[in-house]
Structure formats: C-alpha cells, structure tokens
Chain A
Amino acid sequence: MRRRVAPAAVLSLCAAFSLCAACNAIVGPDPPVSAAALFDQVWNDFDLHYSLFVVKQVNWDSLRTVFRPLALAQDPEGVSAVIAGMLSELQDDHVLWRGSPAGTTSHGDYFAPTLPFGKYVRYVGGLPGGISYGVVSPTVGYLAFSTFEGSGWLSSVDSALTLLGGVSSIIIDVRNNKGGFLENATGAAGRFADRTTTVAYVRYRNGPAHTDFAAPIAQQVVPAGSRRFAGKVYLLTSRNTISAAELFVLSLRALGNTTVVGDTTAGETGNPFARELQNGWSYQFPESLELTLDGHWFEEIGLPPDVTVENSIDEINNHNVDAQLSRAIGLAAGKP
C-alpha cells in the first residue's frame, strides 16, 4: 500500500502540473489576428495611454471613424499601412510603428546647419558616444553632443571635461541632438551641478480620459562625475534639439550660469511606451508629458533660447558663417 500510494501521488501531481492547457483556458484566448482586431487594439492602446492628445488637439474618435472602414477592407497584412496612416495624423516623431511597413510618423526633419570646426573651433578629438570637443581659445572650450544614447556615455563626458582642462567657459552644442536616454541627459547636466536641483516635471497618463494624468514628478539633476565644471556655459540649440536633448536644455537652464543661444528647440518629448500586437507587430508612443519648472508643457512649442540667432544654408554653404556659434563665441569673450 505504502509503496503504491507515494509514486501514484507524485505522478498525479506531475500530471496536474503539466495541464497547462487548463491554465490557458482560465487566462483566456489571445485576441484574433484579424484586420479589425489589430486596428482596434492599436486604436484602444493609444486611446488609453497616449499622453499628448491634450497637446495635439487631434480628434481621436474621428480618426477611428475615418480609418477603421479602411482597415476592415484590408487583410491582416494590409492593415499595417492603414494603421500607419492613422498614426501619422498625430505628427509625432516619438510614435514608432513596427508593423509592415515599419516607420516613424515623423513630420519632417528640421534643418540645423552647423559649421563648428575649422573656422571657429580647433578640433581636438572625438570620444565614444558621438562626443567631439575642441578649443575656441585658451579660455573657451567647445563640446558637441550629437546624441544622448548609449551606455557608458557619461564616462565620455567626464573624459571630455578632463581633456578640456582649465577653460573658464564652455560652448556646448546640441543643435543636432535628437535625444536618447533621459538619464544621460540629466547625468551630463550633473557634471555642471553643485547641488541637487529640480529641473523639470513630468506627468504620466494614468487613466482612460485623455486628460487623466498623475501628479507631476520632479526630474532632478544630481551632482555627478569625476570632474565638475563650474564656469560659464553657452548652450547652442536649434529646431533639431529634440527630446532628451530638450531635458538637457531645461537642466542647464535650471542650474543657472548657462546662456542658451540659437533657435527654439523642437518641442518633441515624452517617455516612450512600447506595445505589441497579437501577431507580433510592435509600436511605441509617448506616455508622459514634460513640463517646464513653471508647470507649462512645451510639446510642439519648444524651448526658446535666451539669445535668438538663426543660421541659414546660404551663410553656411556660401559664406562659411555659423552665426549661432559665432554669437556664442562672442558672448564667451564678453561681447554683448
């Protein structure tokens, strides 16, 4: 009896454990892979989670009315183009569609011509992570961040600040920086901070209404890095200063001792939220709304500079003039 019961019990338990099909039944079936189901899933995800309806002033219900019949006329493959078309109405570079065909819903690149090295800056070197640096004069350094993406990126910032030595002011160029990781943006700003400072706020979507947001969360810059720079900073911005680069602008501005020179930033923010569909397609879109220190959003508006200077293709190509950089160099030299 004893010898029969124990193995039987163990076998019974193992059999029960393997009954995964029963568990699947409790959890329920996945949504069908039909054109209607795929379209509805995307539309609902945006309806529930997209954070920028309050800014875009897009009538999401109307878009459903327009695009859903188009989706229903497609097979599951063809619905991708319809969904991409609907999402493009949002005109949001942070909306990324990975259906087939994949792509962003970008509303076009800005032109941000820059001409840093040679005429204005003596190039010294480049560092991993898209960082280049040089010197304008013995007291004025130049640092360009082309991205805020990459792990280990902040160590390159430390290296650049060390290599620039004892300059008393630095021109930082983020005119062609399309963003990246927020922690890199605030981490880089930490190299210019002497105390923990709130630099911006972020609100996350937290409910089904397009205006449902959680309370603002302070975004802070904490002093960091092996070498902190305490001198004057001139920050070059343009319409191609995007996303995490805009948080960097907010950060340096909040820290003080920074003059922003150039053009208004892009006004494209929002932490991305990734989603997937039942057939494996995926997409991402903003789930948050960035706010300035005084509580205003700047999505689609951008962050204006302290000193507005516009560059032009003609000046760059035909006259070898980078007016924005030239103005920053003048300010660093004490010329108003």
Chain B
Amino acid sequence: MVAAIASCAWHPAHAQAGGEPPRQSLTVSLGMVQDTRRDAADSPLAYVGNGTGARIDYDRVRDGSRVHLFLTAGRSTLTPAGSVPQADIPLEEAFDLYALEAGMDWQLRGGSARRAEFALGVEFGSTITLARHLYAGQDIAQQSFDFGVATLGPTARWTHRVGAGQVAASLAVPLLAWVDHPYADVRFAPQLMHVHFAPLSQFRQANGELSYAFRPESRIGITASYRLGIFELDELQPVRHVSQSFSVGVVRRFGAVP
C-alpha cells in the first residue's frame, strides 16, 4: 500500500513541466455532532448524545497532488443509550472531542473538473477525547476519562461534478495507531497516561466523509458535509466510539479556481 502511494506520488497523473498554479481553500464549518461511545474503563453502559462542532479545513492542490489539514472540535452531552431502570442519580457525561488530521493525496486519473477524479494518499490523524462522567449530588462530582489516539494510514478520495456543485467522498482507514487509554479516571492523576502501540488485531478505525460544494469555481462558496467515524479498541477495557457530524461551512478559495 505504501509503495503504491509512493508510486502515485512519484508519477502523478497531472505532473507537468512547469505545473499549474496552486489552488488553496480555507473552510470554516459549524454543525451538529452525535457521539455514541462505550469505554469499559468508564462504564459498562454505552452513552450517546448530540452536540455542536466546529471545523477548519485547509486544502492546497497543485499538479494533481493535494495537501489537507483539518482541525475539529466538538462538544456533546451524552446519556445512556439504553434504558437504565434503577438509576439513583441522573447519568450524564460531558464529552469533548478534538482532532487534527493532516494528509496528502495524489490524483490517479482524470483531468477535467467535469469528470470524476480519484486520488489515493496518506493521512496522519490525532484525536483526543475528554469524557467527564458527572455524578450529580454525589461526593464525587465527576470523573475524567481521557483518551488519545494518533494514527497513520491510507486515504482514498473521489470527486465528481453534480449539478452546479461538486460531490466529494473520502475514506481513511488507519493502519498504524498509538493510543493513550488510561487505566482509570485521571481526576487526581493526569500523569496516568498509558501510551502504547495498538496492533491491527486490537485496533480498527475508519473515517468517511461525503461533502457537497456549491459552486466550487467561485471564490467564496458554501459546502455541506456529513462525516462518520468508527473506532474500536479491543483490550482489557475495550473502547467503541461512533461519531457522526453534519456541518455547513463557508469556503474561501485562493489562487487558481477549477
């Protein structure tokens, strides 16, 4: 896989002597997020809830290669996904997610903005989640269950003009992962980090995105995106997390336009 990506990088479909001027875009998006998670270090219960999120995207495209950088932040209020018949206190978690993704992909074929384009690449991702398990009216007001993951893996991206806009679908499947999954809550002891490499036998993640850019040739435009992230870590205290978001953003494009 890595060799294939490297090969694509070395022989990009659009490589031309002199090249084309770079296209850059900066997108600021706001939207709603939905997180569903279960961390056995925290609770046997799955928690789910909605919240708000913000994201900043930067793209730079030149000669068929694209560099991208995403910064994401989201905050949700989670409650048990199933019924809990005898809860003596309200069960609730405050959940924050921060993510940074940076990657590069290379277009494999196509040349016209009117046709479908397909690109392969690599992406580095890092995500930190902060779950504050709240105990209303108890001696212990809250417990903190932080989680961090840094990943590296291949990405695939497909774009196509639809109507006046452009549809883009992308998928990232990390193959290498380092996780920090503290053994217990880190309220009193934030030093209790437990960073370790997670092999593919224990770790699975996939991040997909489907977006639609309205009038992609204009300097300022609108984009709508749906993202789905799935994360599984199988270890002594397993973690499962599904994150969905739907956002609308404003795009400012610089340099050449399609």
Contact = CB atoms under 8 A, between A and B. Distances in A.
Interface in A18-57: 20, 23-24, 26-31, 33, 41, 48-49
Interface residues of A, number: 52
A281 B189 contact: no
Nearest to A96: B139
Contacts of B189: 202, 204, 214, 217, 288
A182 B46 CA distance: 31
B76 to A, nearest CB: 12
Contacts of B151: none
B188 A98 contact: no
8 contacts: A17-B246, A26-B36, A28-B46, A206-B194, A215-B191, A278-B44, A279-B84, A288-B188
Q: Which of A273, A278, A279 has the most CB of B within 10 A?
A: A278
A6 B38 contact: no
B86 to A, nearest CB: 4
Interface of A: 1-2, 5-6, 9-10, 13-14, 16-17, 20, 23-24, 26-31, 33, 41, 48-49, 98, 100, 102, 149, 182, 202, 204-208, 214-215, 217, 271-282, 284, 287-288
B48 A206 contact: no
A5 B188 CA distance: 53
Contacts of B188: 182, 202, 204, 271, 288
B240 to A, nearest CB: 4
Contacts of B187: 271
Contacts of A280: 84-88, 91
Contacts of A205: 183-184
B77 to A, nearest CB: 15
B132 interface: no
The 6 closest A-B pairs by CB, nearest first: A280-B87, A280-B86, A23-B36, A23-B242, A13-B226, A2-B163
B240 A27 contact: yes
* Range for the number of chain B residues in contact with chain A: 35 or more
Given A275-B43, A278-B44, A280-B86, A27 B183 contact: no
A273 B184 contact: yes
B165 A6 contact: yes
Contacts of B43: 275-276
B244 A23 contact: yes
Interface of B: 32, 34, 36-38, 43-46, 48, 80-82, 84-89, 91, 133, 135, 138-140, 143, 162-165, 167, 183-185, 187-189, 191-192, 194, 210, 212, 214, 224, 226, 228, 230, 232, 236-237, 240-242, 244, 246
A276 B91 contact: yes
A26 B164 CA distance: 36
A235 to B, nearest CB: 24
B171 to A, nearest CB: 15
Contact of A20 (B36, B163, B246): B36
Given A31-B44, A217-B189, A13 B246 contact: yes
Nearest to B241: A27
Given A6-B165, A20-B36, A214-B191, A30 B246 contact: no
Contacts of B242: 23, 26-27
A204 B135 CA distance: 21
Contacts of B192: 204, 206, 214
A17 B226 contact: yes
A13 B224 contact: yes
Nearest to B190: A217
B226 A204 contact: no
